[in-house]
Amino acid sequence: MVKNPRPNRTLDRDLKSRVLLEQANLAIRRPLVAPALAGLFIFLCGLIASFSFGMGSDGLIITAAAAIGAYMALNIGANDVANNVGPAVGANALTMGGALVMAAIFETAGALLAGGDVVGTISKGIIDPSYVRDANVFVWIMLAALMASAVWVNLATWLGAPVSTTHSVVGGVMGAGITAAGFAAVNWPKMGQIAASWVISPLLGGVIAALFLWFIKSKVSDQKDKITAARRWVPVMIAIMAGAFSAYLAVKGLKKIIKIDMQTALLIGAGMSALTYFITKPLIRRQSEGKDNTKETVRGLFTLPLVFAAALLSFAHGANDVANAVGPLAAIVHTVDLGEVATKVSIPLWVMVVGAFGLSIGLLLFGPKMIRLVGESITKLNPLRAYCVALSAAITVIIASWLGLPVSSTHIAVGGVFGVGFFREFHWRATTNAADVQEVVATEAAKAQKKKRKYRKLVRRSHFLNIIAAWVITVPAAGLLSSTIFLALSHFAG
């Protein structure tokens, strides 16, 4: 009888080593895929611009600007879009893949269909055009501002801080403008308004989100008969959302298609609110039939409205913010093409395409990190809390537009998340008996090995402090970077 051959241990070791080597190579290559695809997009944008405008000195400037504009758009997608869909992902209303695809589609649609067709070349009047009459100097200012804001947003994404891309562009323009024309060229009252918005935007967003959460908890979630309360108040809340987003899109998202004043936008919002109420009331009744009288049932009623809210926020963000980001690129193209500095320029279609597709690609490649931060890491969200954040974002922008305040959608959305988290802490403390509070505090203090911990913390303080710090230094950091880049460009160009 033939015995089984002796196992070839040497061969087994070689095969195992080969498998481990292949797995190691795959692990090394995987993190490089996204940067490689992003680099390919930047290269293609520059290549198309070079074919369109030639390889002369003017063509080279536009080619470089197109590549930097593509880089900026990628960073917007990686950082800014998380604020629109992050709460929905954190609440499990959307999967990460579903959120990425939906946001990419609606951001692109918003940019291409309703994106602003005219922007101020010196970014919202930060620099007085009379101080920058030389076309070449103006081009270097815009190029430096575009590069500096892109680098800063990229750095903030790497550090895990959601920042305002509009404020980054403003800081970039201010820094290069001061270096080129002095401090007198800056519109300091306008800068004061922007600085005030650092405080007003997140506070207003947080307060409104907390108030809506308090209202829904007191009127629905904490009621004994939650189903009856939900049938009464959930249609009202959805109607408020429909009215708020209708007014928001009318004011901020449809500027290219039609000009609508605030009064007309509010009338449109009121009409949509009434229509939505009568449509959703029977739908909520049917959806709640046979369901358990629990908070889980109430939260489930807000899942679908939350998805719609995330889609509408993405559309409005694409319509409003992409133009701000590619505005310097449009200004460079206009100035190089005509040889003069203008206070207003039209955004060419190809520039909007670069912004729209760059934003979507950046979101798909790098967006999950910031989406998880906003939706999961700051505080625990469910559909009800995330809905309050989305609703707060729309209402805060409408109030700010009415008051003429330059606010950041990023600051508002993240402020809403913080507002919901801090309200949860306050509500837990106020509604839990003292003995239970002390027991939980003692348990958490033991876990954290800190005897001074006095209350249950439902908001991660480390994220709170990091994000606030990033917001405060965005304008000066982008300004300093822009000033340095402008000096370098002027030196080599001279």
Q: Write the pLDDT tens digit of every residue in 209-261.
A: 999 999 999 999 888 999 999 999 999 999 998 998 888 777 765 666 677 77
- Where do the H-state alpha helices sit in 293-408? 295-300, 303-338, 349-372, 383-403
Does some domain include residue 20?
A: no
Does some domain include residue 25?
A: no
Contact partners, residue 49, CB within 8 Å, separation at least 6: 59, 62, 63, 65, 66, 67
How high is the pLDDT of residue 454? 44
How high is the pLDDT of residue 3? 52
Does some domain include residue 245?
A: yes
How high is the pLDDT of residue 231? 92
Q: Looking at the chain, how many residues does it have?
A: 494
* Interval 201-214 mean pLDDT: 92
pLDDT of 455 over the 60 cut: no
Q: Which of 50-59, 177-186, 338-347 has the lowest mean pLDDT?
A: 338-347
**What whole-number percentage of the chain has pLDDT above 70?**
82
How high is the pLDDT of residue 201? 85
* Interval 348-366 mean pLDDT: 87
Q: How far apart are CA 115 and CA 118, in angstroms?
A: 9
Q: How far apart are CA 488 and CA 167, in angstroms?
A: 23
Instruction: Kindly report the pTM of this predicted structure.
Output: 0.82
Radius of gyration of the chain (CA): 26
| H or E, element range at 346 | strand 344-346
How high is the pLDDT of residue 405? 66
Q: How far apart are CA 326 and CA 149, in angstroms?
A: 11
Are 200 and 407 spatial neighbours (Cβ–Cβ below 8 Å)?
yes
Closest by Cα among 153, 333, 291, 298 to 217: 298
How high is the pLDDT of residue 118? 53
pLDDT of 282 over the 80 cut: yes
**What whole-number percentage of the chain has pLDDT above 90?**
25
Helix (H, G, I), strand (E, B) or coil at 127: strand
Q: How far apart are CA 129 and CA 17, in angstroms?
A: 66
* Interval 284-306 mean pLDDT: 89
How high is the pLDDT of residue 228? 92
Q: What's the one-letter identity of residue 278?
A: F
Domain of 109 in residue numbering reads as 36-438+445-493
Does some domain include residue 459?
A: yes
The alpha carbon torsion through 82, 83, 84, 87 (nearest 10 deg) reads: 90
Displacement of CA 222 from its chain's centroid (Å)? 32
How high is the pLDDT of residue 456? 46
pLDDT band at 33 (very low <50, low <70, confident <90, very high): confident
Does some domain include residue 412?
A: yes
pLDDT of 432 over the 90 cut: no
pLDDT of 339 over the 60 cut: yes
pLDDT band at 412 (very low <50, low <70, confident <90, very high): confident
Interior/surface letters 131-149, b for 16+ CB within 10 angstroms, e for the rest: ebeeebbbbbbbbbbbbbb
Does some domain include residue 238?
A: yes
Does some domain include residue 54?
A: yes
- Token couple for 292: 């358990």
Does some domain include residue 411?
A: yes
**CB burial of residue 471 (10 Å; 0-12, 13-18, 19+):** buried
pLDDT of 438 over the 80 cut: no
Place of tokens 């509010």: 266
pLDDT band at 460 (very low <50, low <70, confident <90, very high): confident
DSSP string, 401-443: HHHT----HHHHHHHHHHHHHHHHHHHHHHHS-HHHHHHHHHH
> For 123-174, what is each residue's pLDDT tens digit?
556 787 778 878 888 889 989 999 999 999 999 998 888 888 888 888 999 9
